[in-house]
Structure 1
Amino acid sequence: MRTQINVKYLDHPEIKEADSILRSCVHCGFCNATCPTYQQLGDERDGPRGRIYLVKQLLETAEISEKSQTHLDRCLTCRSCETTCPSGVKYGRLAEIGRGIMEEQLPRPLQQRMLRWLLRHILPYPNRFGPLLRLGQMFRAFLPRDLKQQVPLKQVKRPLPSQQHPRRMLVLAGCAQPSATPNTNIVAARVLDKLGVSLFAAPEAGCCGAVSYHMPAHEEGLMFMRRNIDAWWPYIEDGIEAIVISASGCGSMVKEYGEKLKHDPAYAVKAKRISELACDLGEVLVKEDLSQLQLQDKQRKTAVHCPCSLQHAQKLSGLVEQILQQAGVELTPTKDKHLCCGSAGTYSLLQPELSQQLLTNKLADLTIGNPEQIVTANIGCQLHLGSRSSVPVKHWIELLDPQ
């Protein structure tokens, strides 16, 4: 693809990267075949190839319309197109750059700005999100049906292990997960404790930065990243083995800290090291001997939902299935595994109608084998699927919780 970048953007720090990505696209259209929104809407502008042209038009003409903004907003950033692309186009990164410039250039209506501001100032902060969630859980029975579905039931926390082991790993506590699904990291700690590993969180660490960065408040997202690096660095110097992330959406972001902060002289080296140490929970357990674990729900038929952030961003498709099969869990068939469930971070709140259509499709695909439960690897997917699923939806680590 040939490009002629507008002089207005020639000094933009990310423009060379965007130009390189645009030039790598051969506009073959293979990406549209695996794009959830193109499959749902059938509009070229709601597929990766069309959105690439919209970003190209923005960078060449310095003009953007509300219609173009709508089509870019509808993108889930699931990156399924990257898995399919024969040319290796980094579409997700191009979308980030394009959205960032678009956000600066085209002010949104007041209602949209307010919603995005609220999401950015509540979700990433556990001390704000937690009390609001508990309030919703308290009055859940009295809420309207649609809103009630969005409020997860309160979990009874399981006990944390008390042993200290020579092998130590950090875990990202996250922002919504400690309040909505606290047992995910608790069970991860319990499982690793049985395997001789101590798992603990750095008190000062928090949101991975994805909520802000993807909205796209890039500088705000980078602020969260720098805060986590500062919180983790003393433990890294002390020799921790890994930074474990049980939410694949957060994991894909932490693994990109090195790329996101490569131009920051104060954080570039540290960010690169953080990304090298970051790993999905599955990447840790697949290397361990799980035979000593006494599994719960082993006999229950289970459908596995692989989040887009795990299969397309982190390229770890099939990892959860491999671990659960080795542990003896009976897995049921599913179809169209590459398609997004419609959660996609804040997408389910910003694009509710399309998100619900994708959720309907995904639940149908996950239940063709009549499973008794569904497991996934990302809190957003877990809550989204659980809002309408007829069977329980859990994080897959809960199946390995030792007795």
Structure 2
Amino acid sequence: MQTRLPETLLATAAGQEADRILRSCVHCGFCTATCPTYQLLGDELDSPRGRIYLIKQMLEGNEPGSHTRLHLDRCLTCRACETTCPSGVNYHRLLDIGREELDRRLPRPAAERLLQRALRLVLPYPRRFRPLLGLGRGFARLLPSGLRHKLPPAQAVPAWPTVTHSRRMLALAGCVQSVATPATNAVTARVLDRLGIQLIEAPAAGCCGAMSHHFAAADEARAMMRRNIDAWWADIEQGAEAILVTASGCGVFVKEYGKLLADDPAYAEKAVRVSELAKDPAEVLQQEDIGALDIDGGGRRVAYHPPCTLQHGQQLPEIVEGILTRLGYQLTPVADKHLCCGSAGTYSITQPELAARLRDNKLAALGAGRPELIATANVGCQLHLQTESEQPVRHWIELLDADAG
């Protein structure tokens, strides 16, 4: 694709990166076949190719309008297009640059800024989010049905192992997951304990920064990244083998710390090391003797939903499916498993209508094989799907805990 970006923009690192990405696109249209919003809406501007043109026009100097924001906001950043693209277009990075530039040139309406600000002030901070969730659960009967269904049920959290092992790994406690689905990390710790690995959480670590980053709050996101690196660094120097991120949405972002902080002289090298150590639990378990877990799925029928952040973002397709199959679970067929469920971080809040349509389509596909339960690998997908699911929705790691049932 030919570009005519102004010299002032090409003088910046972001401008040079955007130019390289734009030039790599041959506008073949393969991306439209796997784009969830294009599949729903049939509008070229709601496809990756269409959004690339909108970003290109804006970066070349054309004034963006409300239609530009509409179509960029509708993107789930699922990255299915990147899996499909034969030219290796780094679409999600171009979208980040485009959204930041759009917010700079065309400030959002006050109501949208207020919503984003509220989400950024609450969700990344468990001490703020936990009492609000508790309050919602306490007064659930008084809430509108649409809001009441979004409240995740309280989980029974198994005891965290206390045995010390010579092998140690760090775990990202995270923000929403630590409050809404706290059993996930506890079960992961129990599974690894049976394999002779100690899992620890660094108390000073917090939100990975993904939400702030996707809301074009770059400085805020970078501050969160630096805080986490500082929180983990002592354990890394003492030999922690990995940083386990059980929410695949956070995992794909932590794996990009090295790129996102490449221009930070104080953190660049540390960020690269953190990204190298960041692992999804499935990456670790596929290297271990999982037979030692003594788990027998007994042919139990499970529909597995691979989150976009795992299969497209982290490029780890079929990895969880292989583990569950080896342990005796029967995975039911799921059509169009490459398509997003509609969670996509805060997408279900900011784009509720599209998110609901995607969720309903995904639940129909997951339920077609009559599973006993639905498993996934990301807290956002888990919470979003369970709002309307007839089957229980759980993180797949829970199926590896002998006491989880």
2:202 corresponds in structure 1 to: 202
Contact persistence 2:188–2:397 (CA under 8 A): yes
Deviation sequence 1:141-193 (CA, Å, 0-9, x none): 33221111100100121111110000000000000111100000000000000
Q: Distance in 2 between matches of 1:397 and 1:298?
A: 16
Count, aligned residues: 403
Q: Distance in 2 between matches of 1:248 and 1:157?
A: 20
2:292 corresponds in structure 1 to: 292
Deviation sequence 1:107-150 (CA, Å, 0-9, x none): 11111010000011111111111111111122223322111110
Structure 1 residue 236: Cα displacement? 0.7
Which segments of 5 or more consecutive residues in structure 1 lack a partner in the other structure?
Answer: none
Q: Distance in 1 between matches of 2:207 and 2:62?
A: 33
Q: Distance in 1 between matches of 2:297 and 2:141?
A: 28
2:10 corresponds in structure 1 to: 10
Q: In the alignment, residue 383 of structure 1 is paired with which amino acid?
A: L
Structure 1 residue 299: Cα displacement? 4.3
Contact persistence 1:6–1:62 (CA under 8 A): no
TM-score when scaled to structure 1? 0.98
Residues 1-400 of structure 1 correspond to what in structure 2 (within 5 A)? Answer: 1-295=1-295, 298-400=298-400
**Aligned-residue identity in percent:** 59
Q: Which has the higher mean CA deviation after the structures are superposed, 214-223 or 2-11? A: 2-11
- 3-state SS in 2 of match to 1:227: helix
Contact persistence 1:307–1:376 (CA under 8 A): yes
TM-score when scaled to structure 2? 0.98
Which segments of 5 or more consecutive residues in structure 2 lack a partner in the other structure?
Answer: none
Structure 1 residue 221: Cα displacement? 0.7
Q: In the alignment, residue 198 of structure 1 is paired with which amino acid?
A: Q
Q: Distance in 2 between matches of 1:300 and 1:383?
A: 22
Q: In the alignment, residue 399 of structure 1 is paired with which amino acid?
A: L
Q: In the alignment, residue 333 of structure 2 is paired with which amino acid?
A: P
Structure 1 residue 313: Cα displacement? 0.7
Q: CA RMSD in A?
A: 1.1
Q: Which has the higher mean CA deviation after the structures are superposed, 296-305 or 268-277? A: 296-305
Structure 1 residue 289: Cα displacement? 1.2
Q: Distance in 2 between matches of 1:2 and 1:142?
A: 57
- 3-state SS in 1 of match to 2:300: coil
Q: Distance in 2 between matches of 1:47 and 1:394?
A: 31
Structure 1 residue 12: Cα displacement? 3.0
Q: Distance in 2 between matches of 1:154 and 1:193?
A: 25
Q: In the alignment, residue 202 of structure 2 is paired with which amino acid?
A: A
Q: In the alignment, residue 117 of structure 1 is paired with which amino acid?
A: R
Structure 1 residue 298: Cα displacement? 4.5
Q: In the alignment, residue 112 of structure 2 is paired with which amino acid?
A: Q
Runs of 4+ in structure 1 deviating by more than 6 angstroms, as ranges, are none
Q: Distance in 2 between matches of 1:89 and 1:280?
A: 24
Structure 1 residue 367: Cα displacement? 1.2
Contact persistence 1:336–1:365 (CA under 8 A): yes
Structure 1 residue 10: Cα displacement? 3.0
